[in-house]
């Protein structure tokens, strides 16, 4: 991620973006808008050389003005504050009248910072706050019903960050010789001189360290990286110069604002790598194109709308921009940042072929014309399908690793285990069944995915590993079945698979007949073992289905055509018993949910009235 942030920052130097956020030199979190602000105002008496308490001023935090002028370092996280500004919750204070600030937890933190050697001029303030009840009384009078306030100082009429005290502290810090050091067992170890990891400048201009994501340190700023300079904890930190740090921050802000999205509940960055000169006009056009993606997103973290997935796939496949991309999935909790998985080096030519194959599969008539309350719709290829079969919840469990590994394999064109995929598809279908939720959309999306993976396999290698082949003979059946299997010839490449699917279609015809006869009840469904079946069970169920159809007098012409197709497939599929349980269960369930595609519902014709035109 270092390289990606730096690369974007370098592009922005040549092609500034109009929506680029204002620099935040104090590294302050922007999460305080609407929070009440209280300023303890003090004035120094030159004659007595002592501080005098004046009053408490009230204000509201404005992240564009007040915040940068008030704070010097964000008080977020568990790190001790390096600057006398604290988050103050009224629940931290005992009592209901006057608030003893010096005895509260935030007050103790504030006093501890004031006694720090960094601010020797403010040590008298610590004594004043501890010993003067007027400070606590004045603060209590201004709190009112506030549950949370941000407490800072105002010295001689100037906000803390603009005061001579702060300027002196920064100058002192800047004058210290640069050295890389860490402490271990109360001993300090000095490191060698460093060079900037990006600009290769010498130690004279190296200003600090950059961590993985959200902590940048400069020796002139009163802030720390995670783990500080202790190399036993912060060994991943890189030395950076001021120029490199500016580019890192600029690139990071741009990525957070324009290239942060969300897929299946996981946040990710779309990190670009422009392959041409950064000063070229094409680089500027590229920046504008990737920034436009965010406008199609919804919500704070870029919650995906119905078309954003397609837009991102098209961006990955666009060869005109001469760029490669990486997807970086992450989770962030306050100051904690964890990388979940990275999918690197997605080049346009590869993704262009992927997008063309997706469009070709979606054009299959099988995926078009599904009925819904809002009217007919077409099934579209969705990466979100992976989240449904690899969920992360209390009821089904956590399958995060399966989701990311399958997504990475799909995007990179690596083999995906066929049995592993079907096992999780079946697990989710059974879960939906027992939760009494619709199954059709998931089953059809699963077929679409398998079609997609097999089509990619025929174009560029074995993407579905572990998928065995079955015998395929010339079996004559009704045209509607032959046409369906021809549209999915990569998937139904053996008579055993066709047979299992057709038995599922026949079973759904039986269930429809039962529902019509018994007022929407389907007692035969109890024999399906929760949709977990093998070939032996199908052989047992098949004659039972035929007997039930005879009992209900429902062997219409289409049913007899289907029985003939199943019978012929039984004779041809001599390797039917070699099928795995997971594949049998999936194909059978798929047949249950594809009946209406093979046997569309046809309403009965109403009898014409006498005299009506023919």
Query: Would the pLDDT of 161 be above 70?
Result: no
- Residues 485 and 461 occupy one common structural domain: no
- Does residue 482 sit within a domain? yes
Calculate mean pLDDT across residues 440-460: 75
Instruction: Answer yes or no: do 243 and 263 share one domain.
Output: no
Q: Has residue 365 been placed in a domain?
A: no
Integer Cα distance of 106 and 92 in angstroms: 8
Q: Looking at the structure, tell me whether residues 235 and 166 fall in a common domain.
A: no
d(CA 385, CA 390): 9
Q: What is the pLDDT of residue 232?
A: 45
Average pLDDT over residues 128-145: 78
CB atoms within 10 A of CB 222: 21
* Listed range (298-307, 490-499, 555-564) with the worst mean pLDDT: 298-307
> So what's the pLDDT on residue 126?
83
Give a yes or no: residue 48 inside a domain. Answer: yes
Greater model confidence, 587 or 470: 587
H or E element, residue 318: none
Contacts of 313 (CB under 8 A, 6+ apart): 351, 354, 355, 358
Q: How confident is the model at residue 296 (pLDDT cuts 50, 70, 90)?
A: low
**Is there a single domain that holds both residue 43 and residue 159?**
yes
Mean pLDDT, residues 247-256 taken together: 84
The answer to the question of residue 150 being in a domain is yes
DSSP, res 145: T
Q: Which domain holds residue 59?
A: 36-170
Average pLDDT of span 252-274: 85
What predicted TM-score, i.e. pTM, was given to this entire model?
0.65
Last residue in a domain, options 421, 440, 467 = 467
- State percent of the chain over pLDDT 90: 7
Q: Is residue 460 predicted with pLDDT exceeding 70?
A: no
Q: What is the pLDDT at residue 79?
A: 38
| Residue 376 in domain | no
Q: What average pLDDT score do residues 133-159 get?
A: 77
Token duo for residue 270: 């779309």
Output the CA–CA distances (angstroms, integers) from residue 139 to 30, 33, 134, 142, in the order listed. Answer: 25, 21, 8, 5
Residue with tokens 């269930």: 511
Residue 609, pLDDT above cutoff 80:
no
- Can you state the percent helix, strand and coil of the chain, rounding each to 5? 45, 15, 35
The 8-class DSSP code of residue 599 comes to S
* 82 and 51 share one domain: yes
Confidence at 235, pLDDT banded by 50, 70, 90 = very low
For 277-293, give the DSSP string.
-TTSHHHHHHHHHHHHH
How far apart CA 350 and CA 341 sit, in angstroms, is 20
Task: Report CA torsion sign: 8, 12, 13, 19.
Answer: negative
Reported confidence tier of residue 544, pLDDT bands at 50, 70, 90: very high
Q: Does residue 45 share a domain with residue 137?
A: yes
- Whether residue 258 is predicted with pLDDT greater than 90 in this model: the reply is no
Q: Which of 54-58, 162-166, 209-213 has the highest mean pLDDT?
A: 54-58
Mean pLDDT of 502-506: 93
Read off the pLDDT of each residue in 513-528 and give the average, rounded to a whole number.
88
**Position 515 pLDDT exceeds 70:** yes
- For residue 590, what is the enclosing H or E element? helix 581-593
pLDDT at 443: 83
Q: DSSP of 530-583, one letter per residue?
A: GG---HHHHHHHHHHHHHHHHHTT---HHHHHHHHHHHHHHHH-TTGGG--HHH
Last residue of a domain, one of 358, 374, 395: 358
Same domain, 119 and 208: no
Average pLDDT over residues 282-311: 67
Q: Is residue 366 part of a domain?
A: no
**Nearest Cα residue to 464 out of 427, 425, 496, 432:** 425
pLDDT at 499 > cutoff 90: yes
State which of 52-61, 183-192, 462-471 shows the largest mean pLDDT.
52-61
Arithmetic mean of pLDDT, 198-219: 61
pLDDT at 538 over 80: yes
pLDDT score for 370 = 76
pLDDT value at 300 more than 80: no
- The pLDDT assigned to 474 comes to 77
Which pLDDT belongs to residue 305?
47
pLDDT at 384: 79
Our count of domains for the chain comes to 5
Where is average pLDDT lowest: 373-382, 508-517, 536-545, 580-589? 373-382
**What is the rounded CA–CA span in Å between residue 113 and residue 110?**
5
Domain boundary among 123, 143, 170: 170
Are residue 350 and residue 258 in the same domain, yes or no? yes
Residue at 371 is within a domain: no
What are φ and ψ of residue 398, in 5° steps? -115, 120
pLDDT at residue 262, as a whole number: 82
How far separated are the first and last CA of the chain, in Å rounded?
A: 73
Closest C-alpha to 290, from 258, 263, 260, 265:
258
pLDDT of residue 152: 78
**pLDDT at residue 207 in the model:** 60
At residue 433 the predicted structure's pLDDT band, cuts being 50, 70 and 90, is: confident
Q: Which pLDDT does position 541 carry in this prediction?
A: 93
Question: Measured on CA atoms in the order 580, 586, 589, 595, is the torsion positive or negative?
Answer: negative
Secondary structure class of 416 (helix, strand, coil): strand
Tell me: do 122 and 218 sit in the same domain.
no
pLDDT band for position 218 (cuts 50, 70, 90): very low
539 is a domain residue: yes
Question: What is d(CA 99, CA 488) in angstroms, rounded to the nearest whole number?
Answer: 75
Mean pLDDT of the chain: 75
Return the bridge partners of 323, or none.
274
Output the CA–CA distances (angstroms, integers) from residue 52 to 55, 83, 103, 107, 162, in the order listed: 10, 20, 21, 18, 19
Q: How many CB atoms lie within 10 A of CB 595?
A: 19
Side-chain half-sphere CA neighbours of 96 within 13 A: 0
Region 557-579: what's the mean pLDDT? 88
Whether residues 193 and 273 fall in one domain: no
The pair of three-digit structure tokens given for residue 160, joined into one six-digit string: 């803390």
Question: pLDDT tens-digit profile of 62-88?
Answer: 544 444 444 444 333 333 445 566 667
Same domain, 560 and 462: no
Question: Residue 302 — very low, low, confident or very high, per pLDDT cuts 50/70/90?
Answer: very low
Same domain for 243 and 288, yes or no, is no
Specify the pLDDT at position 380: 81
pLDDT of residue 324: 84
Q: What is the mean pLDDT of residues 298-319?
A: 60
Q: What is the largest CA-CA distance in the chain?
A: 116
> How much is the pLDDT for 542?
93
Q: Both tokens of residue 373?
A: 């309350």
What is d(CA 299, CA 317) in angstroms, rounded to the nearest whole number?
A: 25
pLDDT higher for 123 or 65? Answer: 123
């Amino acid at each position: 991620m270092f390289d990606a942030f730096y690369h974007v920052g370098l592009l922005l130097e040549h092609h500034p973006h109009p929506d680029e956020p204002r620099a935040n030199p104090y590294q302050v979190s922007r999460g305080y808008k609407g929070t009440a602000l209280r300023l303890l105002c003090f004035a120094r008496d030159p004659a007595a050389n002592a501080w005098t308490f004046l009053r408490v001023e009230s204000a509201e935090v404005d992240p564009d003005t007040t915040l940068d002028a008030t704070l010097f370092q964000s008080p977020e996280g568990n790190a001790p504050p390096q600057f006398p500004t604290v988050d103050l919750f009224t629940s931290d204070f005992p009592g209901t009248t006057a608030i003893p600030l010096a005895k509260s937890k935030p007050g103790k933190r504030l006093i501890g910072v004031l006694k720090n050697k960094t601010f020797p001029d403010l040590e008298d303030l610590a004594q004043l706050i501890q010993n003067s009840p007027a400070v606590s009384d004045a603060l209590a009078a201004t709190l009112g019903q506030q549950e949370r306030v941000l407490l800072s100082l105002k010295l001689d009429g100037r906000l803390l960050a603009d005061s001579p005290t702060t300027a002196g502290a920064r100058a002192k810090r800047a004058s210290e010789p640069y050295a890389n050091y860490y402490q271990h067992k109360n001993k300090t170890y000095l490191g060698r001189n460093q060079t900037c990891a990006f600009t290769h400048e010498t130690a004279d201009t190296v200003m600090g360290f950059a961590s993985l994501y959200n902590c940048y340190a400069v020796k002139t700023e009163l802030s720390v990286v995670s783990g500080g300079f202790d190399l036993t904890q912060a060994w991943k930190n890189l030395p950076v110069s001021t120029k490199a740090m500016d580019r890192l921050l600029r690139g990071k802000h741009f990525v957070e604002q324009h290239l942060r999205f969300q897929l299946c509940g996981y946040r990710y960055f779309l990190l670009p790598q422009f392959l041409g000169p950064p000063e070229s006009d094409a680089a500027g056009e590229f920046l504008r194109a990737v920034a436009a993606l965010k406008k199609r997103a919804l919500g704070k973290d870029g919650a995906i709308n119905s078309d954003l997935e397609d837009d991102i796939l098209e961006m990955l496949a666009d060869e005109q921009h001469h760029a490669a991309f990486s997807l970086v999935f992450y989770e962030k909790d306050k100051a904690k940042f964890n990388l979940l998985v990275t999918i690197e080096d997605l080049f346009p030519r590869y993704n262009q072929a992927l997008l063309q194959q997706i469009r070709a599969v979606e054009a299959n008539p099988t995926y078009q014309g599904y009925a819904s309350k809002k009217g007919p719709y077409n099934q579209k290829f969705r990466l979100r399908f992976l989240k449904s079969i690899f969920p992360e919840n209390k009821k089904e469990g956590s399958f995060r690793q399966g989701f990311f590994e399958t997504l990475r394999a799909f995007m990179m064109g690596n083999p995906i285990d066929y049995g592993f995929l079907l096992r999780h598809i079946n697990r989710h279908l059974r879960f939906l069944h027992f939760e009494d939720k619709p199954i059709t959309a998931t089953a059809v999306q699963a077929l679409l995915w398998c079609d997609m993976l097999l089509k990619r396999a025929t174009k560029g290698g074995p993407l579905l590993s572990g998928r065995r082949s079955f015998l395929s003979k010339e079996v004559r059946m009704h045209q509607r079945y032959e046409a369906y299997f021809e549209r999915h010839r990569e998937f139904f490449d053996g008579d055993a698979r066709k047979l299992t699917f057709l038995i599922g279609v026949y079973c759904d015809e039986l269930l429809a007949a039962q529902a019509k006869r018994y007022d929407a009840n389907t007692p035969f469904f109890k024999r399906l073992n929760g949709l977990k079946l093998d070939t032996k069970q199908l052989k047992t169920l098949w004659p039972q289905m035929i007997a039930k159809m005879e009992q209900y007098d429902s062997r219409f012409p289409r049913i007899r055509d289907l029985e003939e197709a199943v019978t012929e497939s039984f004779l041809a599929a001599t390797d039917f018993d070699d099928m795995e349980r997971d594949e049998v269960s999936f194909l059978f369930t798929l047949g249950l949910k594809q009946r209406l595609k093979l046997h569309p519902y046809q309403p009965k014709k109403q009898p014409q009235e006498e005299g009506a035109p023919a």
